Amino acid sequence: MADEIMLLDWWSSMFGMRVRIALVEKGLKYESREEDLNNKSPLLLEMNPVHTKIPVLIHNGKPICESPIIVEYIDEVWKDKSPLLPTDPYQRAHARFWADYIDNKIFQLGGKIWTRKGEDQEAAKKELMECLKILEGELGEKPFFGGENFGFVDVSLVTFSCWFYAYESFGNFSIEAECPKLIAWTKRCLQKSSVSSSLPDPLKIHDFVVQLRKKFGIE
Amino acid sequence: MAGSEVKVLGTWASPFALRVHIALGIKSVKYEWVEENLEAKSQLLLESNPINKQVPVLIHHHKPICESLAILQYIDEAWPSAPSILPSDPYHRAVARFWAAYIDHKWFTWLKGVASAEGAEAKKAALDRVREGLVVVEEAFGKCSKGKDFFSGDRIGYLDIVLGCFLGWLYVAEKRNDVKLLDEEKMPGLAAWAIKFCLDGAVKDVMPDKDELLDYANMVFQAMAKAKLNAPPNY
């Protein structure tokens, strides 16, 4: 029986992008449904009643929620192609640690940069740069966080790269100036079709943030 | 295998460190427990977990593993012989991971929120949220356990460990606020599960005594309140 795969998504979500990348890496056909986050569909409410958030992967009618969980699920079910997690338990634990670190830090800090002003914004900028420097240190001289191959941590972090331009514009700073190796890594990732086809244009994200700031009265 | 090959850096009161105790017990792994002093962290802890500097840390063959959920999965993978901690089916694993994330990121945040809530109204709202969260988890328990004793079925597993480690602190919140949170009427499944969990062979000898935990919590909160009173005003 052919697998039925549906993804409930939202174009600018870094979390949705992670799932898109994983699905393309595995060469999977799927139906993508763009949710209206101001008017959530009955399907989304049914499939993710606890959080009512995207992304949700629906595989043969069964929902899987939370992007790192979805990516691991995809990696486990379609394990024969493009493995995202290593096989060694220690390296797997290492990858899960860094994915968790990314999830605890980047989204909240990035969000503060474009929603706050003054001291709050400065503090968020400083902390974001510290986190990115730590991540750059973890990358080291490897081509990818996964080593020679693009992997779970790469998937977790690269989707924020299309938001960097927006963070930099509204925060008035340059990520490349302080983390050149990290930016080089994002360009390396974008050479992969799974990444380039899953990430929107950073300018589009920037314009979207302009609209959000108007909507929330941030200036 | 020699016990010194497996080391756990933890504290007796940490629910996250308790998870590691239980998981190693399930796998019958011998280990050395290092009781950390969080006011004076050991060099080993700072070197093993330079990013978060927190317990627990599992050190296996001199390699550190951090973050309790990553540690639980590591234990299951590094000692793959039965009994297993995570389900074998990918979908059931995803469901277990989902509820673990809910318990850690939502429910436990609400439980901590009870201690930091100021004023009767805020306290009541915080306690209500903890209870509501338990009602949600009660429903999850029904679906996961399918009528058996534990989230994982006949024996304790990932989700049992993830939630079970908080039972002591839940008791602390109940006693300090003179309320019932794990209510036998509203959450009959969880109430019965909690009793069986605490009696499990891998749990009963490592779970801290709940009244000792209460005394410890009272001491910590008293010290915090005193520090707050004595702290210079925040201009």
ipTM comes to 0.96
Strand extents, DSSP E, chain B = 6-10, 32-35, 57-60, 63-66
Taking the mean position of all CA atoms in its chain, how far away is CA B144?
Answer: 19
Task: Look up tokens 């000792």; give the residue.
Answer: B212
pLDDT at A218: 86
CA contacts within 13 A on the Cβ side of A7? 26
Closest CA to A191 of A180, A199, A203, A181: A199
* Ramachandran area for residue A32 (φ above 0: left; ψ -120 to 50: alpha; else beta): beta
Pairwise CA distance, residues B14 & B20, whole Å: 10
The 3-class SS string of A140-195 reads CCCCECCECCCCHHHHHHHCCHHHHHHHHHHHCCCHHHHCHHHHHHHHHHHCCHHH
Give the containing element (helix H, strand E) for A64.
strand A62-65
Among the partner-chain residues A62, A73, A97, the one whose CB lies closest to the CB of B70 is A97
Among the partner-chain residues B51, B74, B136, the one whose CB lies closest to the CB of A101 is B51
pLDDT at A156: 98
Show pLDDT as tens, one digit a residue, over chain B (235 residues).
Answer: 444 699 999 999 999 999 999 999 999 999 999 999 999 999 999 999 999 999 999 999 999 999 999 999 999 999 999 899 999 999 999 999 999 999 999 999 999 999 999 999 999 999 999 999 999 999 999 999 999 999 999 999 999 999 999 999 999 999 999 999 999 999 999 999 999 999 999 999 999 999 999 999 999 999 988 887 777 665 5
**CA angle centred on B110, ends B108 and B112, rounded to 5°:** 70
Query: Which is it for strands A5-9 and A56-59: parallel, antiparallel or unpaired?
Result: antiparallel
Pairwise CA distance, residues B100 & B159, whole Å: 6
List the structure tokens of B143.
Answer: 């679906």
Rounded to 10 deg, the angle between the B210-230 and B167-177 helix axes is 60
- CB–CB of A174/A116 below 8 Å? no
pLDDT at B233: 67
Q: How far is A96 from chain B (nearest CA, A)?
A: 6
pLDDT at A1: 61
Pairwise CA distance, residues A111 & A160, whole Å: 11
Q: What is the pLDDT of residues A6-36, one digit of tens each?
A: 999 999 999 999 999 999 999 999 999 999 9
Query: CB-based contacts of B12: which residues, under 8 Å, 6+ apart?
Result: B35, B208
The β-bridge partners of B10 are B35
Query: CB-based contacts of B188: which residues, under 8 Å, 6+ apart?
Result: B138
pLDDT at B224: 87
Chain A residue closest in CA terms to B62: A90
* Ramachandran area for residue A8 (φ above 0: left; ψ -120 to 50: alpha; else beta): beta
Q: B156: burial class by Cβ within 10 Å (0-12, 13-18, 19+)?
A: buried
Chain B residue closest in CA terms to A59: B91
Taking the mean position of all CA atoms in its chain, how far away is CA A1?
Answer: 31
**CA angle centred on B123, ends B120 and B126, rounded to 5°:** 150
Here the contacts of B48-57 (C-beta below 8 Å, separation 24 or greater) are: B48/B9, B49/B9, B51/A101, B51/A134, B55/B9, B55/B10, B55/B11, B55/B14, B55/B16, B55/B17, B56/B8, B56/B9, B56/B10, B56/B14, B56/B16, B56/B17, B56/B19, B56/B20, B57/B8, B57/B9, B57/B10
List the structure tokens of B144.
Answer: 């996961």
pLDDT at B1: 44
% of chain A with per-residue pLDDT over 70: 100
Chain A residue closest in CA terms to B133: A50
- CB–CB of B206/B31 below 8 Å? no
Q: What is the pLDDT of residues A63-98, one digit of tens each?
A: 999 999 999 999 999 999 999 999 999 999 999 999
Closest CA to A103 of A189, A18, A9: A18
Among the partner-chain residues B65, B90, B136, the one whose CB lies closest to the CB of A90 is B65
Chain B residue closest in CA terms to A104: B105
pLDDT at B3: 46
pLDDT at B71: 98
**Does A97 sit within 8 Å of B60, measured CB to CB?**
no
Q: How far is A60 from chain B (nearest CA, A)?
A: 11
**Three-class DSSP category at B231:** coil
Among the partner-chain residues B65, B97, B102, the one whose CB lies closest to the CB of A50 is B102
Taking the mean position of all CA atoms in its chain, how far away is CA A13?
Answer: 7
Q: Dihedrals φ, ψ of A156, to 5°? A: -65, -40
Query: CB-based contacts of A204: which residues, under 8 Å, 6+ apart?
Result: A12
pLDDT at A179 over 50: yes
Q: What is the pLDDT of residues A110-134, one digit of tens each?
A: 999 999 999 999 999 999 999 999 9
